[in-house]
């Protein structure tokens, strides 16, 4: 059965007492039959959506928070002024968060904890390892960052910054059919149709929450993208 048959799987009657079928010749029966007729009519359809991204910024190691010195005490960054990068705490469209550590400090230890919201406005938390002289990228796509918690370090000689990665967070979860993640059916970049499609959709997982889109031409603050894809309405 096609994905369209599940379009109403998460919906319930606004007034349950009118939606049953205790009397098939009464109001409850008519409302129930109408819902069943609509579901049956749409059963042969699939759920498609389009995501459009206008000028998403290029990946950056300090778009959320500029480099700051390490501290011998645990630190929480949660004031608006703490997020002093070019984008600040809002990532639109949602992006994966990256943490970059300098090599001037002793080996960094522990992980930062990032707290915020996803594209659906739901709470999102992720821990990202502090790695000496490297950039570590998380998996979850944040739409807004509310707090960054950093553990105490051995001294104040190093620096770290917080930015975002290139993949773009999707608004919905691409569907998987017969074990294969379905890719975008149409892709547009800068007003031109990309054929065949070259961008890649990632497997949706609970931690993303809907997966990501990675265009062949990476975001640079000027490219515009639009993708059409089949999604899972129950995810």
CA distance 105 to 131: 11
**Cβ(124)–Cβ(117) under 8 Å?**
yes
- pLDDT (tens digit, 9 = 90+) per residue, 149-206? 999 998 888 999 999 999 999 999 999 999 999 999 999 999 999 999 999 999 877 5
First to last CA, the chain: 17
In the chain, where does DSSP find H-type helix?
27-42
Half-sphere exposure at residue 157, Cβ-oriented, CA atoms within 13 angstroms: 10
* CA distances to 50, 160, 207 from 53, in Å: 10, 29, 21
* Better-predicted residue by pLDDT, 74 or 208: 74
CA distance 64 to 152: 20
**Cβ(140)–Cβ(117) under 8 Å?**
no
**Cβ(114)–Cβ(125) under 8 Å?**
yes
- pLDDT (tens digit, 9 = 90+) per residue, 64-95? 999 999 999 999 999 999 999 999 999 999 99
Band of pLDDT at residue 39, cut at 50, 70 and 90:
low
Delimit the domains of the chain by residue range.
3-42, 48-54+171-230, 60-165
Q: Is the pTM higher than 0.85? A: no
CATH number of 60-165: 2.60.120
């Amino acid at each position: 059965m096609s994905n369209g048959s599940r379009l109403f799987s998460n919906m319930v009657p606004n007034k349950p007492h009118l939606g049953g079928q205790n009397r098939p010749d009464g109001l409850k029966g008519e409302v129930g039959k109408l819902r069943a007729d609509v579901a049956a009519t749409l059963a042969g359809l699939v759920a498609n959506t389009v995501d459009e991204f206008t000028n998403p910024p290029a990946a950056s190691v300090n778009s959320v928070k500029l480099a700051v010195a390490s501290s011998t005490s645990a630190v929480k960054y949660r004031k608006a002024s703490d997020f002093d990068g070019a984008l600040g705490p809002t990532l639109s469209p949602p992006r994966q968060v990256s943490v970059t550590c300098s090599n001037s400090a002793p080996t960094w230890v522990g992980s930062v904890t990032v707290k915020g919201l996803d594209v659906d406005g739901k709470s999102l938390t992720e821990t990202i390892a502090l790695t000496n002289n490297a950039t570590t990228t998380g998996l979850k796509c944040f739409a807004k960052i509310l707090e960054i918690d950093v553990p105490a370090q051995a001294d104040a000689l190093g620096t770290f910054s917080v930015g975002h990665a290139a993949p773009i967070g999707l608004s919905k979860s691409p569907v998987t059919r017969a074990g294969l993640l379905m890719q975008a059916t149409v892709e547009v970049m800068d007003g031109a149709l990309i054929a065949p499609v070259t961008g890649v959709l990632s497997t949706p997982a609970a931690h993303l929450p809907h997966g990501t889109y990675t265009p062949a031409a990476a975001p640079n603050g000027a490219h515009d993208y639009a993708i059409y894809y089949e999604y899972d309405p129950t995810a």
